[in-house]
Amino acid sequence: MADTTKIEDTQERKKIKRAARKAAAPKAKRTGARGEKKKKVKKLARGVSKR
């Protein structure tokens, strides 16, 4: 993505970011489910803190 930290004007900044997003290569399709690497939490009794 283009570095827009120096640009003060919000609209101009948006324009540049959008153009950069359009020009960037498309992201690859996901190989697995979105949350597959998340820590799994076992279900406990009601009212018991999980973490």
Residue 50: the pLDDT is 67
For residue 23, being part of any structural domain is answered with yes
- The answer to whether position 16 is within a domain reads yes
Q: How many domains does the chain have?
A: 1
Q: Is 1:20 a contact under the CB 8 Å cutoff?
A: yes
Q: Give how far Cα 10 sits from Cα of 4, 21, 24, 36, 38, Å.
A: 10, 16, 21, 37, 36
pLDDT recorded at residue 51:
66
Q: What is the pLDDT of residue 18?
A: 93
Tell me which residue has tokens 């979105």: 34
Domain assignment present for residue 8? The answer is yes
Segment 1-51, tens digit of pLDDT: 678 889 899 999 999 999 999 999 999 998 999 989 888 888 777 777 766
Q: Is residue 2 part of a domain?
A: yes
Specify if 41 maps to a domain.
no
- pTM, entire model: 0.50
- The parent domain of residue 11 ranges over 1-27
